[in-house]
Structure 1
């Protein structure tokens, strides 16, 4: 039967709910005003709202009901923030004077009610006790509670002993709000309580009391999970850290006892390759043990909050170690002297691994300290040593050296570039950069190749914004990369220019780097691409005796896409002249035209880019050369849309030529009126010029005369005949000039197809006529006059302007 107190105190559900909206006018309103908290997955308390709480009766059950003081439902009634049953189990705990905390079995949620006044908390607490049939708690004179569940200044932890371990476990494992956790941590740290618990552990271990040992595991696990910085700082001290490992060996969820202490004291060996100060050595031992605790002992039980706190302790300790070491000049000198003089492969490996660990710990240094660290390491010879280690016979040494270089390039690439440009490295003929190139080409480890490509991209990129002009340092580094004989880029490109069957992984990574260079360094890379006939040789990788692997084929396609995406007219005309797309089209159909796969999709992306960006030269070339084949691809609209855009271009050209015909075959050209056939001939010559390979880097930067520039002020164009320059023939892929291209042979409209191929230097450049040789000037004037007479004769005979062959 219910006590008379409860019968007189509680009302029916309907009566209480009707009266809740009137609580704001009641004198006890402040006593019922609470905040509701839910414990989230991170171990933090989330505020779920403020309102008024009451216990109501619903049939035979009692409910804890909390109504918001502000939020309302659609019907105008106050919103219910909490509506849960009162459990008959002992799950409720009163903490301090104003908190009631419990784990709700129906909601599967840790909850807390924080009252505005202690009297309101006591009132609801007593109502819960009455429902559970337990004696109520009277209010003390000082306003505190005298029950054993409160956590505060009045809590007295039982003296540690085997018999009191259950009660200690019950107290420390109680989930509570942060203030109660800090209070509990303070009690555990007071009066040597932790030392007493460790003494009890030793007694239980001597007696072999497994049950008590497992209970101690739960106690110390809960102490760690309090996530109190004060408590963790105490536990991580040398006098406690190894003692803490003892109870944590007896995890009741594991089938057998662990051996953490034996592992840390006897199995783990500290390799002191270079003598370090005693305080640094002690900090290294401490940091390793904390890391072991986090990663091995308690990884299953740590919540995110505690895990983050312990990680912070480790980070701070590592920063102290690194700063102590790189500020010790004597230590650094001893370390790098050993690295440079060491001949034993195993000892060298251990020294490089030690440097790798230093660099790894330096990742967490403050931003202003990282340049100091790398500068100190560089001044003592870090990169000089690492460059040689990249070619070490020991794979472990190469991996460690590569990891150091990779981390340094991602944090301070400017320091690496600065070292490569210093006088010391120049005296060694840029050994560091060349060793990187050799390692990329020669190393058998695919991961090292990939990391080296990543590092070289970071060093070559320089500016994150490609629209900005590169700094002098970047320009000097690019000159170092592209200059010299052989240049570094030539060393890297050798597996592509002179391929071998066993170099597929190397070719894959090299093509990745070369595609990046085409995008990032258009001028410098274009010179190298054209001089080495690289595009043709890259495409030859698809035409071997055996079909190229898919990943290599994709690398070739990405290289070609980088060429197309550069939108360089010189590249585009070179592609058309050499018919480079033929290899891609053959690969597309050989791979299965109806297949959705990476190779076909990569090829389609090139044509889609040409269509979307309206690159007219490549669009017309693709349709005129491969249109019939591509029209058969109907499962996507790319080639259909290309055909439509091509027809639009041809229609516009037809309209323009019709307009020119209405003008009597005369049109303004470069500031004066000339005959249409002459203009067509000039267009053909211009196209021949752009199809030529240019090995003069200065021509790209020269201004070109526009149609507004009067011809009288444009200097005659000097001619350089192919037979006078064998390099130009080689650049075009010929060893000797074509037949009929000799000095003195001129072109006529009748035999335009046999006209000599010439290279124009400084086309359309406005210069003083005195700067041009008189012989060349006379020759150019004579040729121009002859072309004019021939075009006028042809115009008179035909009566209409001649039309160019569209092909």
Structure 2
């Protein structure tokens, strides 16, 4: 039947205190959403829209009128009985279909003090039945938003009455709500109207350690501060920021012990929200410019904001961050970092004088925190998008001034772990791309560092020298090879090897192993210089062969025998022969002999190794060493490490989201 068919024409009445009152006249229509609509006869405007559901109490008087309840009682009086019966037949069919669907849905007991235990029992049962019933409960809570209003009113009354038993029951109900919640429901329960109820109920959690416990509402209302460095004009983005904070507070404080199994879901939700926020920042013309301007004027909140952004990038490494780092670089972030670093080393004389002139007072605590925060900000930038800072530190401007920023970093690296971290990331040698910053370091700074390696150098200095060298020789590029030879690095490593320091010995052996695997004639000449040191250390050990350091020493001997340099092998055996009078000689000689025989057997039984096979062998050994030393790429100081206990499965699933995000 067409919507404007005359048999569908009817008059609508509304039930008053004592009679039916006329409302309008029009044509009835049922849309695809199963809604009954009355369209005004002359204008076709909607007079009323009623979902066809049992709760709206549809009934037919078997003549010409269909009644229903929608806030109030209404009746549609058709001019044609045929029209009334046709509409009623469709309504009945829809109600039957709904009833069949409702068999797979649920209905919680109405909210009241007497029903609270019953509501909890129903929730517990549904959660225990598994994912399907959990999904039904989730759908019910999303669609019945008024249910929360009733729970909030009851919770407020229970607190007034100090009814602790029922308040603890309410807490269990809230924990069940959190258990089944997903993104949409979290947005409902943590919105401005509901979040204090959620955290208020959790204050009555008997399983939480109450020692030194600050009530959630007290903390959220009186201690937690929302600070804006630059005003965010979008109300939706402000809602997102508040939602992220509340969700993370719920995860970390409200129910930290209870929701470990939901960590993946929390990560997905927070990640999705951050993607939205960072798109807003990227697309905003002036947002980052204003932040940088405030940072330039020694605004501590601007520094905290940038550190917070970088910590988010660190926690969610797959977020698309390149655009933001690029804009920060263009707007002058690294000039400001250089200025802060310079002034921090002078006790912030310049900034303190400037602030004094402006009659602004900043606590000493802020000046204490800023140096580390600036370095941590720089380190995260280097970890994610290093090229922007590398380009700045070797720029023409820096070159004219003889690289002042590079000098500051190198000069302080051996006294400060954060400066050392920054230096290692600047000269990272893991990429196949050319790193001009590393080239400059090898030419201008590395010779000064190696020149200070002597008996008088302290253990910490030697350790940092070895870590830098280890990062460099992981890829024996021509410029690295030249620096190793010119600065007699092998000789200095051999000198440190003989010291009775296990950590230093381990790093020395890793360096020797890597340079041996380069299979380069020029480098072999350098290795010959440290063979006496290596033999002395091996002969001095009289313990079990399973010892880690001794095993590493023998691994180097094996690599030498596997090589094709007869000069190197002869030098090794001659040095050992010169020490035949030492007590441990016979045992070591037998080990060397067995290693040589095994290597010869392998060489005869297999084809000569191609260059690619040798490189593959080099890469395998390098990868095997990853657990024995901190690489340049993965190096993190104790100041920067934040505990992130996420399983590999979690990371893989998060990666699925981020792949979709990157498409945007």
Which position in structure 1 is the counterpart of 2:568? 618
Match of 1:641 among 586, 595, 605: 595
Q: Is the 8 A contact 1:375 1:415 kept in 2?
A: yes
Equivalent pair of 2:450/2:487 in contact (CA under 8 Å): no
Name the TM-score, length of structure 1 as normaliser.
0.53
1:451-503 CA distance string (max 9 Å, x none): 34651453x3331xxxxxx5xxx2644543334xxx0323443543x56443x
Whole-angstrom distance in 2 between the partners of 1:632 and 1:395? 60
Match of 1:535 among 477, 490, 494: 490
Q: Which of 242, 262, 265 is equivalent to 1:309? A: 265
1:185 alignment partner in structure 2: 138
Q: Secondary structure at the match of 1:238?
A: coil
Quick check: 1:322–1:361 contact (8 Å CA) kept in 2?
A: no
**Residue 157 of structure 1 pairs with residue 108 of structure 2:** yes
Higher relative contact order (CA 8 A, sep 6+): 2
Q: Distance in 1 between matches of 2:589 and 2:320?
A: 57
Provide, for residues 744-763 of structure 1, a one-character-per-residue CA deviation record: whole Å limited to 9, x for no partner. Answer: xxxxxxxxxxxxxxxxxxxx
2:440 aligned with 1:480, yes or no? yes
Match of 2:150 in 1: 196
Tell whether 2:203 aligns with 1:245: no
Does the CA contact (< 8 Å) of 1:235 and 1:241 recur in 2?
yes
In the TM superposition, 1:39-50 aligns within 5 A as none
Q: 8 Å contact 2:470–2:510 — kept in the other structure?
A: yes
- Please name the residue that 2:620 is paired with: none
Structure 2 distance, partners of 1:423, 1:156, is 72
SS in 1 for 2:586: coil
CA 1:320/1:535 → structure 2, altered by over 3 Å: closer, same or farther? same
Shift of 1:273: 4.6
Rounded to whole Å, the distance in 2 between the matches of 1:608 and 1:313 is: 52
Local SS of the residue matching 1:161 = coil
Partner in structure 2 of residue 520 of structure 1: 475
Name the CA shift for 1:618/1:169 in 2 (closer, same or farther; >3 Å).
same
What CA distance in whole angstroms lies between the structure 2 residues aligned with 1:167 and 1:161? 10
2:373 maps to 400
Distance 1:388 1:596 in 2: 52
Q: Which residue of 2 aligns with 1:461?
A: 430
1:322 aligned onto 2:278: yes
Cα deviation digits, residues 74-98 of structure 1 (max 9, x gap): xxxxxxxxxxxxxxxxxxxxxxxxx
CA separation of 1:171/1:303 partners in 2, compared to 1, >3 Å: closer, same or farther? Answer: farther
- The alpha-carbon deviation at position 572 of structure 1 amounts to 1.8
Give the corresponding residue for 1:299. 256
- 1:600 and 2:550 are equivalent in the alignment: yes
Uncovered stretches (5+) of structure 2, i.e. residues with no partner: 1-94, 346-366, 604-664
Answer 1 or 2: which has greater helix percent. Answer: 2
Partner of 2:383: 410
Contact 2:562–2:599 at 8 Å: present in 1 too?
no
C-alpha change, 1:334 and 1:411, in structure 2 (3 Å) is same
- Using the TM superposition, give the Cα deviation of residue 367 of structure 1 relative to its aligned residue in structure 2, in angstroms: 6.3
Q: TM-score, normalised by structure 2?
A: 0.63
2 CA distance for matches of 1:275 and 1:599? 58
Contact in 2 for aligned 1:388/1:435 (Cα 8 Å)? no
Cα distance in 1 between the residues matched to 2:374 and 2:388: 17
Change (3 A) 1:608 1:352: farther
- Out of 579, 582, 585, which is 2:535 matched to? 585
CA 1:647–1:328: 2 relative to 1, 3 Å: closer
1:205 aligns with 2:124: no
Question: 1:276: Cα distance to partner?
Answer: 4.6
Task: Give CA-to-partner distance per residue, 1:234-281, whole Å, 9 cap, x none.
Answer: 112222222211111111324658600101111223444555547455
Shift in Å, 1:152? 4.3
Q: Is the 8 A contact 2:340 2:371 kept in 1?
A: yes
Q: Which residue of 1 aligns with 2:411?
A: 438
The corresponding residue for 2:170 is: 216
Cα pair distance change 1:385/1:616, threshold 3 Å: farther
What per-residue deviation string (whole Å, max 9, x for no partner) do you get for residues 570-627 of structure 1? 2223443x4x221222223334455643432332221121122343222111112213
Offset from partner CA, 1:496-518 (integer Å, 9 cap, x none): 3x56443x223213212223323
For the Cα contact (< 8 Å) 1:169–1:215, is it kept in 2? yes
Residues 643, 226 of structure 1: alpha-carbon distance in 2 compared, 3 angstrom cutoff: closer
Secondary structure of the structure 2 residue equivalent to 1:561: helix
Cα distance in 2, alignment partners of residues 514 and 492 from structure 1: 10
1:646 and 1:596 map into 2 onto residues whose CA distance is: 23
SS state at 1:536 partner: helix
Structure 1 residues 542 and 365 mapped into 2: Cα distance closer, same or farther (>3 Å)? closer
1:561-572 counterparts in 2 under 5 A? 561-572=513-524
Question: Relative to structure 1, is the Cα distance of residues 634 and 522 closer, same or farther in structure 2, using a 3 angstrom cutoff?
Answer: same
- d(CA) in 2 for partners of 1:533, 1:214: 72
Please give the residue correspondences for 1:1-40 in structure 2 after superposition, counting only pairs within 5 Å: none
Instruction: Give the secondary structure class of the aligned counterpart of 1:289.
Output: helix
The Cα shift of 1:169 comes to 1.0
Rounded to whole Å, the distance in 2 between the matches of 1:248 and 1:211 is 13
Shift in CA distance, 648/161, structure 1 to aligned 2, threshold 3 Å = closer
Counterpart of 2:293?
Answer: 337
Counterparts of 1:179 and 1:644, CA distance in 2: 62
Q: CA 1:145–1:587 in 2, change beyond 3 Å: closer, same or farther?
A: same
Query: Residue 628 of structure 2 corresponds to which residue in structure 1?
Result: none
User: 8 Å contact 1:511–1:555 — kept in the other structure?
Assistant: yes
Task: Give the CA deviation at 1:212.
Answer: 0.4
Separation in 2, partners of 1:422, 1:376 = 18
Task: Quickly say closer, same or farther: Cα 1:478–1:531, change in 2 above 3 A.
Answer: same
How far does residue 178 in structure 1 lie from its aligned partner after superposition?
4.5
- Aligned runs of 1:89-108 on 2, under 5 Å? none
Separation of aligned partners in 2, 1:648 and 1:324: 61
Q: Give the structure with higher Rg (CA).
A: 1
Q: Deviations over 1:99-122 (max 9, x none)?
A: xxxxxxxxxxxxxxxxxxxxxxxx
Matched residue of 1:244: which SS?
A: helix
- Cα distance change, pair 170–335 in 1 and its aligned pair in 2 (3 A): same
CA distance in 2, matches of 1:428, 1:274: 34
Aligned match of 1:713:
none
- In 2, distance between residues paired with 1:210 and 1:259? 15
Residues 405, 616 of structure 1: alpha-carbon distance in 2 compared, 3 angstrom cutoff: farther
**Offset of 1:207 from its aligned partner?**
0.6
Q: Does 1:352 align with 2:303?
A: yes
Note the 1:691-706 alignment, pairs <5 A. Answer: none
